[in-house]
Each structure stands twice: as C-alpha cells, then as structure tokens.
Chains A and B, each alone.
Chain A
Amino acid sequence: MDMDEIDRSLLDDRAEPRPSFQADVMRAVRREAATLPPIRFPWERLAVGAGGWLLVLALAWKALVSTDPARLLTSAPAVAVACLAFSLLVQRALRVWAS
C-alpha cells in the first residue's frame, strides 16, 4: 500500500449519521434550553450598592465635620437632600445595569 492509496481511502469519506440524528440532537438541545441556569448570588450588584452607600456616608460625614456647628441646623437639610439624590442615582444606575 502506498501513500496515494492511503490518501484516497482516508479522503473518500461519505459516511452520514442516521436519519434521526438531527431530531435526537434537537431533543437534547431543547432539554438543555429548558434547564434553567442556577441562580447566582448577585455579588457584583451587592458590591456596587455597598460601595455607593459607603460613598454617601463618607460624603455626609465629611459635610458634617466640615460644617460650623452654628450653621449645622441650616446645612443639615441640604446634606440630607444631597444624600437622597445620590442614593436615587445609585439605584437608577443599578436598575439600568440589571435591565
């Protein structure tokens, strides 16, 4: 046997699967698609949320300590509004990310 004969034999490949092969594969694919992926704990979202809240607290603390106690009464509502606005912004960003 020479290389040409080997080449011809190994090249001449007309084998086909059974006629029901495609249906069998699609049955397995449908089964696979119907299996819900396991629900992962959303660590990424938790990290972003916790980071956002830490930032809000840090900013609030900084605003409080840098404010003259005499002016605290007048600036406290502004700080509260700023914190609320920031937390709403973080929530909105998380909602967009999740969608």
Chain B
Amino acid sequence: MERDPDADAEAVRRVLAGDVEAFAVVVERWQGPLFRLALRYAGERGAAEDLAQEVFLRAYRSLASWRGDARFSTWLIALATNVCRSHARRFPRATEPLDEAALPASAPEPDEPALAPHLRRAVNALPPRYRDALHLFYFHALDVRAAAASLALSEGTLKARLARGRKLLLSALAAGTEGRGR
C-alpha cells in the first residue's frame, strides 16, 4: 500500500488553502483501499461504498488535524478504521453465531475470490478485538506493524489477538463444514 506521500501532502495543503477540488486527488488515490477496508466490515458493496464515503467526509472535515508528523496514509487508515469499527458497533450485522456465519451463503462479487464473502462473514462474527485484528492484518497484506499502527496497539498485543482470532476462525470454519456435511 505504498503510495507517494508527497502527492497526499500537496493535495492536503491545497485543500487547506481553500481548493476543495484538490480533495479529488485524495479520493482518487485512496478510494480502492478504503472501499476494500469498508467492504471487510460492511460485507456488501452498497453499504461499503456508503461507509467509504463517510470516511472521506470525516477526513475532509478533520484534515487540519493531520499535522504532517505522521504519514498521511497512517492518519487516514487509522481514521477509516475508527469509522468502520463504530459502524460495526452501531450495526452489528454479525449477530449470527460464529459457526453459522462460517457457512457459505452469499455469492462472491465478480472481482473477488469465491471464498471471500463467507470468510468475511466468519471474521465479522468473531468478537470485535479479534475481528479488528484480522481485518487490519489482511487489509495491510500481513504487515503486523502497519495493522498495529492502524489499531493503536502494540505489535505484541496484535500478534496475540491474531493468533487467538485465527484459531477461533479455523474452528468456526471446521464446525461450519461439519454442519454442511450432516
């Protein structure tokens, strides 16, 4: 997820100077990653786009609070993570039991792997601390340090949550497979 940080900084500087249209640069550069993060939490495209739009609006409102001492990507993804987590708290779509969520239900979108939707449902059904750890770990392409930074956790804490979360996920998926076999 390495992007030219100077382009972000320049776009933010222009927006803060009053050029609203410069924000399009930020949207264009980050719409894919933020949509994919939102999709992990929201589970379906329409809700994910609404959530990603909410992230961009929050980012626009609070651009002045990015002081440039951290990378813009770190700031933006931490903000997006917070918005997605509060969305998950407000709309707990994963109230289904973990083993039921692990059963394949919805068809994958044309641009995603066949297993992704039911795996996402299974991750969403995990307790929030493990769900967040796994979502951010995969979102950051297995980069523990980046995932820990997005969640404001130490790397050790994140690793412990990942280990426990992955174990829970595996047993839920195994239970789901057994359930289907019966």
Is A29 positioned at the interface, with any CB of B under 8 Å from its CB? yes
The prevalent SS among residues of B at the interface is helix
Asked if residues A32 and B116 are in contact (CB atoms below 8 Å), the reply is no
Is B20 positioned at the interface, with any CB of A under 8 Å from its CB? yes
Q: Which of A11-65 contact B (CB under 8 A)?
A: 11-18, 21-22, 24-26, 28-30, 32-33
Chain B residues with Cβ below 8 Å from A5 are: 115
Is B125 positioned at the interface, with any CB of A under 8 Å from its CB? no
Q: Which of B51-84 contact A (CB under 8 A)?
A: 52-53, 56-57, 60-61
Q: Which of B114-135 contact A (CB under 8 A)?
A: 114-116, 119-120, 123, 134
Is B39 positioned at the interface, with any CB of A under 8 Å from its CB? yes
Asked if residues B32 and A17 are in contact (CB atoms below 8 Å), the reply is yes
Asked if residues B49 and A18 are in contact (CB atoms below 8 Å), the reply is yes
**What's the A-B contact tally at a CB cutoff of 8 Å?**
99
Q: What separation, in Å, do the CA atoms of A81 and B63 have in the docked complex? A: 47
Q: Interface size for chain B: under 10, 10 to 19, 20 to 34, or 35 or more residues?
A: 35 or more
Q: Which of B148-182 contact A (CB under 8 A)?
A: 166, 169-170, 173-174, 177
Q: What separation, in Å, do the CA atoms of A33 and B111 have in the docked complex? A: 34
8 A-B residue pairs with CB within 8 Å: A5-B115, A6-B115, A12-B112, A14-B111, A22-B27, A25-B57, A28-B56, A29-B60
Q: Name B's A-contacting residues (CB within 8 A).
A: 20-21, 23-24, 27-28, 31-32, 35-36, 39, 45, 48-49, 52-53, 56-57, 60-61, 109, 111-116, 119-120, 123, 134, 138-139, 141-142, 166, 169-170, 173-174, 177
